[in-house]
A = this chain, B = another copy of it.
Amino acid sequence: MKEKLSESLENYLETIAFLKRENKIARVKDISKMMGVKNSSVNIALNVLSERGYVIHERYGYVDLTDKGQIIADDIQKKEDLLFSFLHNVLGVEKEIALKDACKMEHTISDETLAKLIYFVGRIDKMNLKESGKRKNK
């Protein structure tokens, strides 16, 4: 059940999800522009993603995500948000760089590490809340 997608293909899904959220629709041109690649490269990626059941793409038409594709896109976005938050808010890495690093790491971080990081960031947030107002409990 654990089909792995390449970093590149994951990025295509993420970009399509973003465009749908922002513009309601995703077109080849938008995808290529956002990702800094050529339309031809987008087309080839879409063919692969279509074949594997992640996107729906009619010739000369819009690009859409299947449920399966949306799930992957959401998963990656969740990872990106968490990683960005950790890098920027916890470590204090500058926005631009934190985002760039998060966008790379989101493809490699394991589920285990992700879970631990979620827990850790949660604890840090609580600590900050406490420190910025009240005394430590107990």
Q: Chain A interface (Cβ within 8 Å of chain B)?
A: 87, 90-94, 97-98, 100-101, 104-105, 108-110, 112-113, 116-117, 120
A sample of 5 more A-B contacts (CB under 8 A), given A93-B112, A104-B108, is: A93-B113, A101-B110, A105-B105, A105-B108, A108-B108
Number of copies of chain A assembled together = 2
> Contact between B113 and A109 (Cβ–Cβ < 8 Å)?
no
* CB neighbours of A98 from chain B (8 A): 113
User: Are B108 and A94 in contact, with the CB atoms below 8 A?
Assistant: no
Bound-complex Cα distance A110 to B94 (A): 11
Least Cβ–Cβ distance between A14 and chain B, in angstroms: 16
For A92, what are the chain B residues with a Cβ–Cβ distance below 8 Å? 116
> Which 4 A-B pairs give the minimum distances between C-beta atoms?
A104-B108, A91-B116, A97-B112, A101-B113
